[in-house]
Amino acid sequence: MTSWPWLLVLDGLDEVTEPETRKRLIRQVTELVNEAEADDCDLLAVLTTRPIGYTENIAPTQFECIDLNDLTVDEAVRYGEQVTKVRLRGDHDRTERISERLREAAGDESLRNLLRTPLQVLILTIILDGTGTLAPDRYSLFWGYYDTVFRRERDKKASLRRLLQDYSQQILRLHERIGFELQVRSESGDRSHATLTATELQNIIWQVLHEAGFQPSGRDSGLREKIFTAVTQRLVLLTPRRTSDGYGFDVRSLQELMAARQLTSGPSPRVAQRLRTAGASPHWRNSWIFAAGQLFAEPQDHQHEVVVGVLESADVDTGHRLGATLPIGPRLALELIDDGMARSLPRWRNRIAAHGLRLLNEPVSDDFGFYARILTRYAAAGEEQYEAVVDGLRDALGGVGNSCLTAQHFQKLVPDLVTELGISARMRGLALALPRPAGDTRPAPTDGWEDFDLEITTSQVTDAKRVALEVAATALRRLARIDQPAARDVDPITDALLSGIAPTLDDALSNVMRHEPRLLKALREHALPVVLRQPIGDRLRSSHI
């Protein structure tokens, strides 16, 4: 590296999920670039990750965070046409029919939400080729892909046609079980690309058939073998891994989709429990959104209430992860808004958006630009949505501490976001919103540290935890004064959060959260990720019993 220019690309940081492994990896990457800089190496290092679930601010003096733009509508259509030509290889009639339907979809405002990434455009063209219907959310898109692939294979005149027709429910249930199991396994440090061996896959087939009343060890043993052949050789959603002796989903989103369907199986109280457990985990975030999309895909108000109720209570009684100080509910809400699942359901859409606007009460963090795009895009969706965002801005601008500063920061981003998103220039009016007139009864702001100290000293904790609590309190005070915290500044806080005294710290921090944006930003980016990435798969698995 000292004698030749280097480009180092580390792809898929989002797939490194186990907390200690991820922490160690980030530390080693930082050490590498520091040493390269010290040795005067010509090195460009690139880390890639999906934006959802990325919370760390990695070595900000060495790395710049760059968000990839969504495809524009024209880019999406061109890509869809090109990939269809490659996929169909000379079938001009089908290619033209798909291209025509793709252009029609691009002209539908509600469907443009699906034309953002190459993968989604590819799947959309496959669905259009199968004359499938389209809905404006990711769950319906990926579910439509599974349904299209299944129907295509079922309708072929081949030996497995009757099998796919008669046992479609068992085959779907099998994919759901496999997706969930792989999602659980990939939480551990050595299984970012989790697989199932052939024997494990056979065992899950046995369980699915047994629960359905078959005798997979007796008269139906042949059925078990036929289903194994169908799911590994015909449907091709599960494929052999080249790097290990096992099977997995080539498309990670399909694994997350099937895991989501497993999360939503059973009575509503149990589903709500699983969603509450999974909502805060970055590893389960995409499955959580898929699960919400599935519940919204049906015209059932009680299912919609499950999602919105879990969302609105996502940070209640969650002191173990500093839920009151560093809520995750507003981010979840904006991700649901961006997905489009409640677009045509104003009763639910408005409740979700109202909760999402609470993000303006938090200090600006590194992921704020991602959510600012969602808010700006939402405001452009209609007059009612625009007025809701303006009202949220006016409330925040009239607040104190974080609220006012965050709203002002959002307004500074608006002009560039309007240009970037290609939306109506009228949305620039968001930058001109004014605070609501404030009365004279608002109490004078205080920094809250005296109350913080009182909460710490009067807390009811054991002597064994008292030392850790006081060390963490001292570290929090120091963190509030540091611009670029190091591991030694954060580790005492992380250790305290994992030791069971997080609820006490959450109560104490409530006294200073309005006036310490630097502290809260550091906690969200450096301490909280370790807590949120603790594995929850076993808890989710036990809730299925």
Q: Could you tell me the pLDDT band of residue 545, with boundaries at 50, 70 and 90?
A: very low
**pLDDT reading at 470 higher than 70:** yes
The pLDDT of residue 441: 47
**pLDDT reading at 103 higher than 80:** yes
Residue located via tokens 């060390």: 471
Mean pLDDT throughout 64-76?
A: 90
pLDDT in tens, 139-192: 999 999 999 889 888 888 777 788 989 999 999 999 999 999 999 998 875 555
% of the chain at pLDDT higher than 70: 96
Four-residue CA torsion sign, 293, 299, 300, 301? positive
Residue ranges of alpha helices (H) inside 186-324 are 198-211, 221-229, 252-263, 268-278, 285-296, 301-312
Nearest to 221 by CA among 202, 245, 238, 237: 202
Output the CA–CA distances (angstroms, integers) from residue 376 to 97, 151, 182, 514, in the order listed. 34, 39, 36, 25
Residues with Cβ within 8 Å of residue 430, at least 6 apart in sequence:
376, 379, 386, 389, 390, 393, 410, 411, 414
**pLDDT reading at 400 higher than 90:** no
Please provide the size of the chain in residues. 545
CB contact at 8 A, 286 and 141: no
Mean pLDDT throughout 60-68?
A: 86
The pLDDT of residue 160: 79
Q: Could you tell me the pLDDT band of residue 530, with boundaries at 50, 70 and 90?
A: confident
- What's this model's pTM, rounded to 2 decimal places? 0.90
Residue located via tokens 């609820």: 503
Chain mean pLDDT for the chain: 90
**pLDDT reading at 414 higher than 60:** yes
Q: What is the DSSP letter of 357?
A: G
Residues with Cβ within 8 Å of residue 166, at least 6 apart in sequence:
none
pLDDT in tens, 15-57: 888 888 888 899 899 999 999 999 999 999 999 998 876 777 7
Strand pairing report for 6-10 and 43-47: parallel
The pLDDT of residue 255: 94
Q: Could you tell me the pLDDT band of residue 193, with boundaries at 50, 70 and 90?
A: low
| Cβ neighbours of 308 (radius 10 Å) | 21
The pLDDT of residue 41: 95
CA geometry: angle 15, 21, 22, nearest 5 deg: 55
The pLDDT of residue 437: 80
**pLDDT reading at 513 higher than 90:** no
**pLDDT reading at 442 higher than 60:** no
Nearest to 369 by CA among 433, 412, 311, 325: 412
Domain ranges of the chain: 6-47, 161-256, 278-432, 449-513+515-532
Q: Could you tell me the pLDDT band of residue 244, with boundaries at 50, 70 and 90?
A: low
**pLDDT reading at 543 higher than 90:** no
The DSSP bridge partners found for residue 247 are 196, 240
Q: How far apart are CA 366 and CA 521, in angstroms?
A: 8
Q: Which two tokens stand for residue 263?
A: 């999360």
Q: What is the DSSP letter of 428?
A: G
Q: How far apart are CA 476 and CA 471, in angstroms?
A: 9
Nearest to 338 by CA among 298, 295, 381: 381
Q: How far apart are CA 153 and CA 168, in angstroms?
A: 11
φ and ψ of 417, to 5 deg: -65, -40
CB contact at 8 A, 331 and 288: no
Q: Which two tokens stand for residue 77?
A: 């259509």
The pLDDT of residue 399: 86
